[in-house]
Amino acid sequence: MNVQGSYQSVLMVIGTRPEAIKMVPVYYALKREGISTFLCSTAQHTDLLQQVFDLFSIKPDADLAVMKPGQNLAYLTSAILEKTQQLFQVIKPSIVLVQGDTTTSMAAALAAFYLKIPMGHVEAGLRTYDIDNPFPEEVNRRFISTIARYHFAPTAQAAAHLLAEGVARESVFCTGNTVVDALRLMQNNIACGYVAVRSELQEAVTRCKQEGKKIIVFTMHRRESFDGGFVRVVRAVNKLLLMHDDLFCFYPVHPNPAVTDALREIQAHDQFVMNLCAPFAYQDLVYVLTHADLIITDSGGLQEEAVSLAKPVVVTREKTERMEGVWAGLVDLVGTDEHLVQQAVIARLYEPLTYHADTTSIYGDGDAAQKIVSIIKKHVLIRTYQNDGERTVVEKGL
C-alpha cells in the first residue's frame, strides 16, 4: 500500500524585496511540512525582488511582471488586482498569504476577498493611525485587516491594535516577525560561508575598524520625505561626516528617481563625502548591519533588523508603526529636522548606549515562520492521503 500525506495549496503573493525577505522563511517552513505551496511574484519591484529569489534559490511559480517605467499606485493596484484574481481562479488555493502593507499585498488581498478565498496577513496590526504617514502603507494595512481571515501579528502591541479595532480574538495570532527568522538564517549562512559578501564591503569594514572609525548605515526613500525632508536629512548626515573624520557612512541608494534626482542636486552644490553605493544584496546588508555602529533610516524593516542586532537607530520619520524599539531605548524618532538628526546621531555615537537586556527579541526569536505554518495547518488546511490512487480526506483543521 502506497500512502503519502499532502496538504491543499497555499498561495503566497510577493511583489517587493522587503516582502520577499520576510516571506522566504514562511516559504521554507511550508515546504518542510510538505505543504503544496504556489509562489506568485507580481514583480512590483523587478530587480531588487529577483536578487532575493536568486539568493535563496527560489523560483516563483508565476511571474505577473506588472512593473513598468513611470508606474503609479493606480496602475499597480488595477494591474495586480486583475492578474492575481485571474491566477486565483485557476489555482483555487485553500488560503492566500500576503505580507505587510505594499500595493501588491493590498491588491492581492482584495482579489482573494472578491473570490471568497481565506486570506492570511503576515505582519498584521502595525499602525501609526495617520493615513499620510507612511503613505500609502498605513491605509493598505488597515484595509487588509478588514478583510483578512487570519492575522499574524509580529508583536503584542500589533495584536492589541487589531483587537482594539474589533478583530475577532480567535483570528489574531502573535507569532513574532519573520524578519528575525530571515536575519538569523542569513547570519548563519554568512558565518558558514554558504553565501559570499562583496569583498569591497569587507575591505571597507576592516579598514574602518583598523582606523578606529565608526560605521553608519544610511537609507532613506519614503514618499512622504520628498517635500524637502529627504534633502534636509542627507545634508545633515553629510555635514556630520565633514565635521567628524572618525565617521564613515555607507549609503545604498534606492533606485527611485525622486531619490537619485535629489541626490544629484545636492552633489552639484555641496561638498559631498557620503559613500554612495548600489542597493545592498541582502547578505551584504546583514553583514554591514552586523558591523555598524549606527543606522539612520526611514525603513520599517531596517528598524526591526537593527534592533534585533542591538544596534541604535535614528529614524527619520515623524511617526513609526514600530514603537517597540523606541520603548526599548534603541530607537530615536526624530523626523527630518536637520538639527534633531545631528543631535541624535552625535548622542548615539559618542554617549554610552543603554537599552533593555531583552531588546534583541522584541520582534521575535527566529521561529515566527514555523508558528505561522503550524497555525495554517491547524486552522485552514485539509489533510489528505493518497491510498492506492484514491484521495481521501481524513482530517480537517479547526
Catalytic annotation, residues? 101, 123, 137, 221, 223, 254
Query: In 3D, which of 300, 370, 310 has the Cα closest to residue 126?
Result: 300
Burial of 350 (0-12, 13-18, 19+ CB in 10 A): exposed
Whole-number Å distance between alpha carbons of 236 and 222:
17
Q: Give the residue carrying C-alpha cell 492575481.
A: 84
Beta bridge partners of 350: none
Length of the chain: 398
Whole-number Å distance between alpha carbons of 110 and 125:
17
Largest CA-CA distance found in the chain, in angstroms, rounded: 77
Whole-number Å distance between alpha carbons of 35 and 43:
24
Q: DSSP E strands: which ranges in 57-182?
A: 62-63, 95-99, 119-122, 150-153, 172-174
Concatenating the DSSP letter of every residue in 313-324 gives: EEE-SS--S-TH
57 by DSSP, 3-state: which? Answer: coil
Whole-number Å distance between alpha carbons of 311 and 363:
14
Whole-number Å distance between alpha carbons of 39 and 384:
21
Q: DSSP E strands: which ranges in 286-352?
A: 294-297, 313-315, 331-333
Q: Give the residue carrying C-alpha cell 486565483.
A: 88
Query: Exposure string (b/e) for 1-30, b if CB count within 10 Å is 16 or more?
Result: eeeeeebbbbbbbbbbbbbbbbbbbbbbbb
215 by DSSP, 3-state: which? Answer: strand
Other C-beta atoms closer than 10 Å to the C-beta of 340 total 18
